[in-house]
Structure 1
């Protein structure tokens, strides 16, 4: 009887410890950031007025590529867009200040893009099967390098963009399943 009680106690403690584990269901496999000026990743914009009317220009963007591995026992996310796995990059104060100084506004705040002449975008894997890796690419446009038209924001100098790139991993990525936050991961690690 004592052996059964002891065995039951160990099993109960094990289950309790496993249930109280705070290990997130995803692991950051890789995070990279680069400056991109590539039509296949960012698309292009067409000049609508002036002597260059009809010409395409390609923006330069701060391009984040993040890979997450599902370490839980279940798939994460669903096909329904309301319940997909999404991410959000939360920049440090240092990165926000650098963005404001270099680009003229906080590129990580979608509200500040209004009337800026640039945009942002993402490509996500909404579902990550158990044990598999999901791909998340987010980009923040900085401007157009050859913008001689007032309709587009002129990109910062190459040196200024490189300065922003140097501290671009000074941020946290927040992972959501639908509206539920499931993990916060430091991009510097």
Structure 2
């Protein structure tokens, strides 16, 4: 009798473990975030160039600066699922209250809102062709380094360091075809349950 009871308990535990591992694999997000680098940069290879007119009406490169995030990521699951992602995937940052406050205090606006007339936002995606690994980058403009009539001058490097210091206080959100597919904590890069 004892052997039957132990056998039944063992079978139940094994079945439970299989069920748990199946449900855990079902919840795995489409992407795993492996690493993130955050910087304030004026490197146009990373953030592009912004042109505006100077006081005489001449078009000039304003040599913009931006808060730049670069995520190393890995796709999970069937590769067919990701074929169109370079065209339809979007990544944004939702700042925690202290990051939003730092943005407002240092830059003068919440740079994470996308409806600014003066401050731009950019996103890029490279890799994911021959392998499941690649990079997703996001940049939020913090100002220009050349005086112009359209984009305010960037705060000092000292002030921008304060912004960079809290830049990982927020959430990375991935959307595909305008539909949210995952959220990740910027601090530990782990997925956040909805």
TM-score normalised according to structure 1 size: 0.78
Provide structure 2 residue ranges, at least 5 long, that are not aligned to the other structure: 189-194
List gaps (5 residues or longer) in structure 1.
Answer: none
Distance in 1 between the 2:110 and 2:143 partners?
13
Alignment check: 8 A CA contact 2:146 2:153 kept: yes
TM-superposed deviation, 1:73: 2.7
Distance (whole Å) between structure 1 residues aligned to residue 160 and residue 89 of structure 2:
30
- In structure 2, the CA distance between the partners of 1:41 and 1:23, relative to structure 1 (3 Å rule), is closer
Mapped contact 2:85–2:176 kept (Cα < 8 A)? no
Spell out, residue by residue over 1:21-76, the C-alpha distance to the aligned partner (whole angstroms, 9 max, x if none): 13434321110111111222233333424347233221011111011112x33224
**Which residue, 107, 114, 118 being the options, matches 1:110?**
114
Q: 1:142 to 1:132 in 2, by over 3 A?
A: same
Q: Supply the RMSD in Å over aligned alpha carbons.
A: 3.1
What is residue 41 of structure 1 aligned with on the other side? 46
More deviation, 58-67/48-57? 48-57
Alignment length, in residue pairs?
179
For the pair 1:134 / 2:134, whether they are aligned, the reply is yes
Q: Deviations over 1:152-182 (max 9, x none)?
A: 2111111111110111011111233434433
